[in-house]
Structure 1
Amino acid sequence: MRSVVKTWLAFGLAFFLAGCGQENVKTHPETQITGSTMGTYYSIKVADDAISDKTKFQADIDQLLELVNDQMSTYRPESELSRFNQARTSTPVVVSRDTARVVTESLHLGRETRGALDVTVGPLVNLWGFGPDAKPTKVPSDELISQTRQKTGLGNLHVITSADADTLQKDIPDLYVDLSSIAKGFGVDKVAEYLEAKGSRNYLVEIGGELRINGVNGKGHPWRVAIEKPTANVGSVQEVIQVGDNGVATSGDYRNYYEMDGQRFSHTIDPATGKPIHHRLVSVTVVHPSCMTADGLATALTVMGPEKGMAYATEKGLAIFMVTKTDEGFDERYSPAFKPFLTRDAK
């Protein structure tokens, strides 16, 4: 591999962009832009003639992603989502069609995964120090966790759509919605939709490790990406995949965690317990036509853990790749639907 892959560029939680693995002359120049959004970076490559003005392209993408932040960021007090979270009544709050779309998909995935994905766990995320609030100085008590759980629940959140307006409604005043498990994937999809509206059919869009891929790269070969090995050595590759025209998302807790009182706390909260997950699944990668859906599913499967998560994915025909920590190192498993995306001979 090292003789044919020209460069590995470190990008975010789970992925690297890779060369196609063949020494062919470029068939089309690639337009690439990079920038910052959602507390991370973005990188976009376009390998056709859809983009004629790179400066305008960058400005359009920045504006598009800034709008997503203004809609769904919990770190911006004036965002649509923050205004809804700050409301203390059951009066519907008008939101954009995009915000309604993301919350609707969140509720759908929450039902499909039997509550493993729950975007109302925001109060618990904040309680454990992984939201806008500061990290706690001591481990929250069971009583405090129980009290906080009373402020959550997908059944307390509703999306109401009509020809005139889209609104969100809550049944309890303290309900707090956190879309961080799905909004980044939505942002990727929005950029892909923009590119396709421009006529592009060959592109790779990434925001902080979540991707949408379509067509071929500048050499005329399918895009390849690499799943990062979950170790401290940034740049170590677990697996190279070729996913065709799909979205890809990874969830993992090997970087976003803290330790306190001799315990390790993951940023992923189990809605069933109100506590950070505690199992040996360190990362799960999902391939799906929608990056938004892949993003939400990756979180849900992480909550489920290795056995329940793999059983669920196999039952539903989902393409997933799991890395689990063992006493000897790391073990990888994948669902039957994921096998076609591997670039090596599957064992």
Structure 2
Amino acid sequence: MLLWLVVGLSACSADKRDWQLSGPTMGTRYHITVADVPAAVQKPELQKRVDAELEQVNREMSTYIDDSELMRFNRGPVGEAVPVSGHLAGVVARSLELYRRSDGAFDVTVGPLVNLWGFGPQPEPETIPDDADIDRLLEQIGSDALVVERSPDRITRSRPVEIDLSAIAKGHGVDRVAELLEAQGIRHYLVEVGGELRTRGKNPRGNPWRIGVESPDPTGRAVQKPIEISGKSVATSGDYRNYYERDGVRYSHSIDPRTGRPLRHRLASVTVIADNCAEADGLATALNVLGAEAGLKLAEEENLAVFMLVKTDTGFEERYSSAFEPYLGKSGQ
């Protein structure tokens, strides 16, 4: 998760058009701060536009809305090119790119395995899944079964896999809202949905946006690393909040789609800075699955700005890519 460190509007003069907006979305909440808003933009209307945009993202990509576009696709024909919206085609295409770049560590068809381990809509299992059940599902999943065509936008499944975009949809929603704000002439903003965020310009105090990477401490929310960032998106993935234990073994909600089993490495969290939030969101998940060594190797190969917290016997060790180093000098420390 990411902590938003500087949001205080009380220090701003009363005549400045600096607002905060918030509301429920995607099973979590969104928070937006906008600064120096153009005079033609009215706050109630802007709130309505934001809510409508995020509702549209849900109608397209939610797995909790039975008649969402994604769920209709998942129930649709196999072996046929199904017409879809440009937004859905674009997010699935980006997901397939991440699947290839991560050698299968990012896979939007992993849902059945997540459910098998009790981290989906189904309750926690009474017994740990056996090898036969895992192997059966591994044969069924795989983003290699998906083909996306653009202009016209269509998706084809070569076998009956089901798509779950929960590892990238929040980031996409952040991007959609950011684009909406920019279409209204707003040039200074921070948009956050469920901990994934995108920034531009300055905060209400006229400074770069300042956020903090959360320390993986189950006792409360504490900042591990503060950074200043504008014109970029940030997302974090980790396994330190959603897990259960059986017979002294800890089972994380993060499932490796290549093995069908929860992650067992020592990477606690990974934070990614990227140009857009969908990219940051998906990469954070992919690198979390890959683990510290393989994840940092990919980060260096692709010049990705990545910060990791790795569990040690005495606490946590910070590791980061070369592209992240410039942000360390902007921490205000």
Q: CA RMSD in A?
A: 1.9
Deviation, 1:238, is: 0.2
Q: 2: distance between equivalents of 1:133 and 1:25? A: 47
Q: 1: distance between equivalents of 2:270 and 2:213? A: 10
What residue identity is the alignment partner of 1:31? W
Q: Secondary structure at 1:150's aligned position in 2? A: helix
Give the corresponding residue for 1:111: 100
Q: 2: distance between equivalents of 1:282 and 1:88? A: 39
Give the corresponding residue for 1:38: 26
Out of 95, 105, 129, which is 1:140 matched to?
129
Q: Which runs of 5+ in 1 are unaligned?
A: 1-13
How big is each residue's C-alpha offset from its partner over 1:219-251, in whole Å with a ceiling of 9 and x where there is no partner? Answer: 111110011111023231101011221010000
Q: Is the 8 A contact 2:30 2:192 kept in 1?
A: yes
Give the corresponding residue for 1:252: 238
What residue identity is the alignment partner of 1:200? I
Q: 2: distance between equivalents of 1:115 and 1:49? A: 43
Q: Which runs of 5+ in 2 are unaligned?
A: none
Closer, same or farther in 2 for the Cα pair 1:113/1:214, shift >3 Å? same
Q: Is the 8 A contact 2:227 2:332 kept in 1?
A: no
Q: Is the 8 A contact 1:28 1:220 kept in 2?
A: no
**Structure 2 matches for 1:180-219, cutoff 5 A?**
180-219=166-205
Deviation, 1:168, is: 1.6
The count of residues paired between Structure 1 and Structure 2 equals 329
Q: 2: distance between equivalents of 1:234 and 1:279? A: 23
Q: Is the 8 A contact 1:106 1:296 kept in 2?
A: yes
Q: 2: distance between equivalents of 1:178 and 1:20? A: 33
**Structure 2 matches for 1:31-180, cutoff 5 A?**
31-50=19-38, 52-163=41-152, 166-173=153-160, 175-180=161-166
**Structure 2 matches for 1:204-283, cutoff 5 A?**
204-283=190-269
Deviation, 1:88, is: 4.9
Seq. identity, %: 50
Q: Secondary structure at 1:129's aligned position in 2? A: coil
Q: Secondary structure at 1:314's aligned position in 2? A: helix
**Structure 2 matches for 1:266-345, cutoff 5 A?**
266-342=252-328, 343-344=330-331
TM-score, normalised by the number of residues in structure 1:
0.90
What residue identity is the alignment partner of 1:89? V
TM-score, normalised by the number of residues in structure 2:
0.94
